[in-house]
């Protein structure tokens, strides 16, 4: 879909333009906001993405989850458009993998079934007030999220990433909540 391709380029440019110190400040504040929610406190198993350099940085969330004795999982790419959840037993079990993204070292990998996950922090380039998400186009989360049947789907985002509407396709997986510094939007996902 051409409209999505244009939007991806635009939002990626906006995200890349955020200065590192501002990205780190916003990441810290959003993690504080998220970890104060009932969704966080009720979750026993949390899956979060391993941040690329231009995304909101979630390493602090990893630390908080482990300190709070949550089971933390991150994606493990297993094929084109396919991922699984793998447990992060400690920060020492992480190494830099493909695309300069952290992954769990092979010796420490333990898969977590999607239905065991209580909350997924979902990445994206943009989100709308109806629970729609614009990802990078690989379809990883669109394929994974329907299998995480018990998980609340949460996006932590810059304010500019939350818009009124986005183009969607039938296979696009929706999210339950978008949290920015200025507001939070909750949706009823079908």
Residue 89's pLDDT is: 97
pLDDT tens profile 15-66: 999 999 999 999 999 999 999 999 999 999 999 999 998 999 999 999 999 9
pLDDT of residue 190: 38
φ/ψ of 47, rounded to 5, equals -110, 130
Q: Tens digits of per-residue pLDDT, 103-149?
A: 999 999 999 999 999 999 999 999 999 999 999 888 899 999 999 99
- Residue 1: pLDDT band with limits 50, 70, 90: low
Tell me the C-alpha distance between 174 and 25, whole Å. Answer: 27
Asked if residues 85 and 77 have their Cβ atoms less than 8 Å apart, the reply is no
Dihedral, 57, 165, 133, 176 alpha carbons, nearest 10: 90
Q: Give residue 130's Cα distance to chain centre.
A: 17
| pLDDT for res 95 | 94
- Domain residue spans in the chain? 2-163
pLDDT at 97: 83
pTM above 0.85, yes or no: yes
Please determine, for residue 8, whether its predicted confidence score (pLDDT) is greater than 90: yes
> Could you give the CA distance from residue 74 to residue 62 in angstroms, rounded to a whole number?
10
What is the assigned CATH class of domain 2-163? alpha beta
């Amino acid at each position: 879909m051409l409209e999505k391709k244009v939007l991806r380029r635009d939002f990626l440019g906006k995200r890349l333009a955020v200065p590192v110190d501002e990205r780190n400040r916003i990441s810290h504040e959003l993690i504080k906001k998220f970890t104060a929610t009932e969704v966080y406190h009720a979750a026993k198993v949390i899956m979060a993405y391993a941040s690329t350099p231009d995304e909101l940085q979630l390493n602090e969330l990893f630390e908080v989850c482990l300190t709070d004795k949550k089971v933390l999982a991150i994606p493990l790419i297993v094929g084109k458009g396919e991922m699984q959840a793998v447990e992060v037993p400690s920060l020492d079990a992480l190494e830099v993998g493909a695309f300069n993204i952290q992954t769990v070292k092979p010796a420490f990998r333990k898969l977590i079934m999607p239905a065991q996950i209580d909350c997924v922090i979902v990445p994206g380039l943009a989100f709308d007030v109806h629970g729609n998400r614009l990802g990078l186009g690989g379809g990883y989360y669109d394929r994974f999220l329907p299998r995480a049947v018990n998980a609340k789907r949460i996006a932590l985002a810059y304010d500019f990433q939350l818009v009124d509407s986005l183009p969607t396709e039938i296979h696009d997986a929706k999210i339950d909540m978008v949290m920015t510094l200025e507001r939070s939007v909750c949706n009823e996902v079908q």
